[in-house]
């Protein structure tokens, strides 16, 4: 019985061209995925295109390099001062390389996802000025109680990369998903810009996508909940400002519930 079910699912996956999340077949899709006529969830045109039955059918996904143009990228990083270490580190090419490594099939994303992700990148790094947290090495961000992702002796898990990935459990979880040993080599996030952007894409798929239907505010809560409920309204407003700006540049409606 179980076997039959598995092979049926496998065949249906083949028929539906690309089965992104086999476990949510028959349209118990996450709200940001499209359900196609075969009852499978996914985000490519095979799901959200003409065969789309429910979900964000009208949201069209496009190859990531069509959205993150050189002009879009430069519009952000050009605002970082010349003394910024990030200016010689983050590049559009390394972002696209990360996207190609990150997505197993084609890097189809929506404009809203890119606006959301880059709004957080800009806020976290001040327009790609910073690679590492200022004075980060004075704090090691080690949660000793986390046995699943134990800290490596002598390593520090301070904020690094476009999202300022911090804490051993985040380095551990992210590294596991990327196939990189970021617990033993956390400094990779600050020394290889492809890896740095891979951590950003990890955030996109794990945090942004599942929350996007709740509005931008939910993604602020996920990245730094302490800013919400008046915790740091300046920071929240800055994130919303970048988000609106990028939505405008990319020609998409920012939607509702922007604040948190």
Ligand X SMILES: *[C@@H]1O[C@H](CO)[C@@H](O)[C@H](O)[C@H]1NC(C)=O
Active centre residues (catalytic): 124
CB 39, min distance to ligand X, A: 35
Nearer to ligand X, 159 or 217 (CB): 159
Nearer to ligand X, 191 or 257 (CB): 191
Report strand pairing: 52-54 vs 34-36: antiparallel
- Angle at Cα 13 formed by Cα 7 and Cα 15, nearest 5°? 105
Nearer to ligand X, 165 or 195 (CB): 195
Nearer to ligand X, 106 or 192 (CB): 192
Token pair listed for 245: 């700006």
What angle separates helix 168-178 from helix 193-203, to the nearest 10 degrees?
A: 100
The size of the chain, in residues, is 260
Note the residues at the interface with ligand X (CB under 6 A).
101, 134-135, 192, 194-195
- What is the DSSP code (8-state) at residue 23? G
CB 90, min distance to ligand X, A: 13
CB 94, min distance to ligand X, A: 8
Nearest residue to 207 (alpha-carbon basis) of 232, 176, 174: 174
Q: Can you tell me whether residue 165 is helix, strand or coil?
A: strand
CB 194, min distance to ligand X, A: 4
């Amino acid at each position: 019985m179980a076997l039959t079910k598995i092979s049926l699912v496998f065949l249906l996956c083949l028929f539906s061209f690309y089965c992104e999340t086999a476990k949510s077949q028959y349209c118990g899709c996450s709200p940001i995925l499209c359900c196609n006529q075969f009852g499978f969830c996914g985000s490519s045109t095979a799901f959200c295109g003409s065969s789309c039955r429910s979900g964000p059918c009208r949201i069209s996904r496009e190859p990531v390099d069509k959205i993150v143009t050189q002009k879009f990228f430069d519009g952000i990083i050009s605002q970082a001062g010349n003394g910024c270490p990030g200016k010689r580190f983050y590049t559009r090419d390394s972002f696209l390389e990360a996207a190609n490594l990150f997505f197993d099939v084609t890097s189809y994303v929506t404009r809203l996802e890119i606006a959301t992700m880059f709004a957080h990148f800009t806020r976290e790094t001040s327009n790609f000025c910073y690679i590492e947290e200022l004075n980060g090495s004075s704090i090691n961000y080690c949660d000793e109680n986390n046995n699943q992702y134990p800290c490596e002796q002598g390593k520090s898990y301070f904020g690094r990369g476009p999202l300022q990935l911090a804490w051993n459990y985040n380095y551990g979880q992210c590294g596991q998903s990327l196939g990189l040993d970021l617990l033993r080599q956390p400094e990779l996030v600050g020394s290889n810009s492809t890896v740095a952007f891979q951590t950003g894409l990890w955030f996109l798929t794990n945090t942004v996508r599942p929350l996007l239907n709740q509005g931008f505010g939910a993604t602020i809560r996920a990245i730094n909940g302490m800013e919400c409920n008046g915790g740091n309204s300046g920071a929240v407003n800055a994130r919303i400002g970048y988000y609106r700006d990028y939505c405008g540049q990319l020609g998409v409606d920012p939607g509702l519930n922007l604040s948190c």
